[in-house]
Amino acid sequence: MTISALAFALLNVLVKQSGNFNVNQVVFFRSIGTLFFTIPYLIKNKINFLGNKKQLLIARGVVGCIAMTLFFMSLNHLSMGSAVSIRYISPIFAAFFAVFLLKEHIKYFQWFCFLLAFMGVVILKGFDSNIDTIGLVYALLSAVFTGLVYIIIRKIGNSDHPIVIVNYFMIISAIIGGVLSIKHWTNPQGLEWLLLLSLGIFGYFGQVYMTKALQTTEVNQVAPLKYIEVVFTMLIGAIWFKEIYTLISLLGIILIIVGLTLNIVLKTKLK
């Protein structure tokens, strides 16, 4: 999940820089770039493209596409920090859904840890004083659908190879994004091709390692680790965009790390 978080943090930066393209076109290139990895892998290893739990695989693809599109849309209305922070309510939704759909038990101390980590995210990046309402709605809806993605992947379990799951997601997203971007298509120029195709590279590694993590560990334990992406985004922002962070931002990092560490340590000790 840590590798996944770093890859997605880099993806966030590239998506933000692709703001002059229609969001569906960005989704299309994000998906096509990843398919350059998944399809050859499946062919080389002679893995069945169709998978076993086809209905869940399709559901994961559709729900994932909606979540991704909504998040990319939120980046057009909010600062990157605000959009990422709001989206990271998703592990809370995932834990909530897990109680009812997967019958997983969440202890009281875990809810406290989730709250502590969430407070850290809010402090770390916070919400813009003049936050755009439409952007806020997009980010919140993205968080809800992302939480559902965690649950669907957990339901698939080890029945299907992680690359099969990712391949379904990318094919469905490429089709939806491609069709919806036809009327608003803008031809990339020069390095813009590299920028757009790089979305798929970082997205591939982020998606594969997230899928592996969710297949092998309970949702309520591994999902909160996605908060680390916010930390990576902050560090990349400092190096790439020369952003300056205050003591309040450092306090946010500490709260996130403490919340996540407590959840893992206490859960392990109290089993």
The pLDDT value given to residue 263? 73
pLDDT at residue number 220: 61
Q: What is the share, in percent, of the chain residues with pLDDT greater than 70?
A: 87
Structure tokens, 112: 């406290």
Side-chain-side CA neighbours of residue 242 (13 Å): 0
The pLDDT score that the predictor gives to residue 245 is 61
Task: Please determine, for residue 222, whether its predicted confidence score (pLDDT) is greater than 80.
Answer: no
Q: Are 41 and 163 in contact (CB under 8 A)?
A: yes
User: Identity (one letter) of the amino acid at 5?
Assistant: A
Q: What is the DSSP letter of 101?
A: I
Between residues 203 and 228, the one the model is more confident about = 203
CB 253 within 8 A of CB 231: yes
Higher pLDDT, 57 or 218: 57
DSSP of 99-144, one letter per residue? IIII-----HHHHHHHHHHHHHHHHHT---TT--HHHHHHHHHHHH
Separation of alpha carbons 23 and 189, rounded Å: 17
Q: What is the pLDDT of residue 71?
A: 93
Q: Is a pLDDT exceeding 70 seen at residue 13? A: yes
Is residue 129 over pLDDT 70? no
Structure tokens, 269: 């000790």
Helices 23-44 and 162-181, packing angle to 10 deg: 150
pLDDT band (50, 70, 90) for residue 261: confident
- pLDDT tens-digit profile of 61-107? 999 999 999 999 988 887 776 777 777 777 778 878 888 887 777 77
3-state DSSP assignment of residue 161: coil
